[in-house]
Amino acid sequence: MSDYRKWQCITCGEIYDEALGSPDDGIPPGTRFEDLGADWLCLNCGAAKDAYVLVAE
Protein backbone atom coordinates (compact mmCIF):
# COMPACT_ATOMS: atom_id res chain seq x y z
CA MET A 1 0.00 0.00 0.00
CA SER A 2 1.30 3.45 -0.97
CA ASP A 3 1.33 6.42 1.35
CA TYR A 4 1.19 8.82 -1.58
CA ARG A 5 -1.94 10.93 -1.95
CA LYS A 6 -3.93 12.39 -4.84
CA TRP A 7 -5.18 15.95 -4.95
CA GLN A 8 -7.79 17.40 -7.34
CA CYS A 9 -8.15 20.95 -8.61
CA ILE A 10 -11.73 22.05 -7.92
CA THR A 11 -11.51 24.53 -10.80
CA CYS A 12 -10.67 22.17 -13.67
CA GLY A 13 -10.59 18.65 -12.23
CA GLU A 14 -6.85 18.11 -12.79
CA ILE A 15 -5.39 15.41 -10.52
CA TYR A 16 -1.98 15.80 -8.90
CA ASP A 17 -0.71 12.34 -7.94
CA GLU A 18 2.23 12.51 -5.53
CA ALA A 19 3.48 9.10 -6.67
CA LEU A 20 3.73 10.26 -10.28
CA GLY A 21 4.71 13.90 -9.80
CA SER A 22 4.92 15.73 -13.11
CA PRO A 23 8.34 15.05 -14.64
CA ASP A 24 7.55 17.03 -17.80
CA ASP A 25 7.09 20.07 -15.55
CA GLY A 26 10.20 19.43 -13.44
CA ILE A 27 8.35 17.76 -10.55
CA PRO A 28 9.91 14.34 -9.87
CA PRO A 29 7.82 11.31 -8.87
CA GLY A 30 7.32 11.13 -5.12
CA THR A 31 7.03 14.90 -4.64
CA ARG A 32 4.57 15.61 -1.84
CA PHE A 33 1.84 18.17 -2.45
CA GLU A 34 2.98 20.19 0.57
CA ASP A 35 6.49 20.38 -0.92
CA LEU A 36 5.31 22.12 -4.10
CA GLY A 37 5.51 25.56 -2.50
CA ALA A 38 2.82 28.11 -1.65
CA ASP A 39 3.09 29.83 -5.05
CA TRP A 40 2.65 26.62 -7.09
CA LEU A 41 -0.20 26.76 -9.63
CA CYS A 42 -2.33 24.12 -11.29
CA LEU A 43 -0.43 22.85 -14.31
CA ASN A 44 -3.64 22.70 -16.33
CA CYS A 45 -5.59 25.88 -15.53
CA GLY A 46 -3.29 28.02 -13.37
CA ALA A 47 -5.50 27.94 -10.27
CA ALA A 48 -3.83 28.58 -6.92
CA LYS A 49 -2.69 25.65 -4.78
CA ASP A 50 -5.58 26.22 -2.35
CA ALA A 51 -7.98 25.24 -5.14
CA TYR A 52 -6.91 21.60 -4.60
CA VAL A 53 -8.67 19.14 -2.34
CA LEU A 54 -7.48 15.77 -1.11
CA VAL A 55 -9.27 12.96 -2.99
CA ALA A 56 -7.29 9.83 -2.06
CA GLU A 57 -4.94 8.76 0.70
> What domains can be seen in the chain, in order of their start residue?
6-56 (2.20.28.10)
The residue among 51, 35, 34 whose CA lies nearest residue 43 is 51
Q: What is the pLDDT of residue 1?
A: 45
CA distances from 23 to 10, 12, 18, 30, 51 (A): 22, 20, 11, 10, 21
CA–CA dist 33, 4 (Å, integer): 9
Residue-wise pLDDT for 28-41, tens only, equals: 999 999 999 999 99
Q: What is the pLDDT of residue 56?
A: 83
Q: What is the pLDDT of residue 40?
A: 96
DSSP lists the bridge partners of residue 54 as: 7
End-to-end CA, the chain: 10
Residue-wise pLDDT for 2-37, tens only, equals: 699 999 999 999 999 999 999 999 999 999 999 999
CA–CA dist 38, 49 (Å, integer): 7
